[in-house]
Amino acid sequence: MPDDDWPPAPVASPTPWNSLWDFSLTVYAAPDVAEACLRAQDQHGLDVNLILWAAWLGANGHRLTSAELAAAASASDAWRREVVQPLRAVRRRLKSGPPPAPNANSAALREQVQAAELEAERQQQQMLQAFPPRQRLEATPELALAANIALLLPAGNRRAVTEALHAAIFNP
């Protein structure tokens, strides 16, 4: 399939998103975004919060450097590995067992773990939001978004994630 239509043509820039968390809740709920981000997480070990952070910066016209990305990833990695990922593992495990799970009691516990996981992700995003890039703006937010995602994702998964994020951000 030819890529003559890629990257997408510029569109009017949305109102800048001031909060990474608000941006993430809105964009992640859009069609295809969660699926594309989770596929990148599960297949390549990528951090969904880092993807959303890079997209948030791109949506606001900021293009990351690889050094900025590495600094932000390094700063939040221990929290992700030691808090977010274990909570996610417990939540996923409660879905199918061990006995006595799954049952009504374990479903309630799973919801509590899910709430804790979400709060841990929000705190990770607060860490990431504290790492703003230098005031280097791209020509358009669309180009900044594509460039930031290209820093994170292998070429094979880049397009699906970028297209889903682009649609959610610029064509809600």
DSSP string, 30-57: STTHHHHHHHHHHHH---HHHHHHHHHH
What is d(CA 169, CA 95) in angstroms, rounded to the nearest whole number? 32
Phi, psi (deg, nearest 5) at residue 6: -125, 135
* Secondary structure tally for the chain: helices H, strands E: 8, 0
Q: What is the pTM of this model?
A: 0.84
CB-based contacts of 47, cutoff 8 Å, min separation 6: 41, 73, 76, 77, 80
Average pLDDT rounded to a whole number, residues 138-164 = 86
The answer to whether 87 touches 120, Cβ cutoff 8 Å, is: yes
What is d(CA 74, CA 53) in angstroms, rounded to the nearest whole number? 14
Q: Which residues pair with 137 in a beta bridge?
A: 62
CA quadruple 1, 60, 15, 117: dihedral positive or negative? positive
Share of the chain above pLDDT 70, in %: 88
Phi, psi (deg, nearest 5) at residue 112: -65, -40
What is d(CA 30, CA 28) in angstroms, rounded to the nearest whole number? 5
What are the structure tokens assigned to 49, written together?
């919060």
- Note if the bond before 86 is cis, omega within 30 degrees: no
Q: Mean pLDDT, the chain, as a whole number?
A: 86
- Lowest mean pLDDT: which of 27-31, 62-66, 71-75, 132-136? 132-136
Average pLDDT rounded to a whole number, residues 72-79 = 94
**Residue 96 class from Cβ within 10 Å (0-12 exposed, 13-18 middle, 19+ buried)?**
exposed
> Where does the pLDDT of residue 145 fall: very low under 50, low under 70, confident under 90, or very high at 90 and above?
very high
What pLDDT, in 10s, does the model give residues 30-62? 999 999 999 888 888 889 999 999 999 999 889
Say whether pLDDT at 63 is over 80.
yes
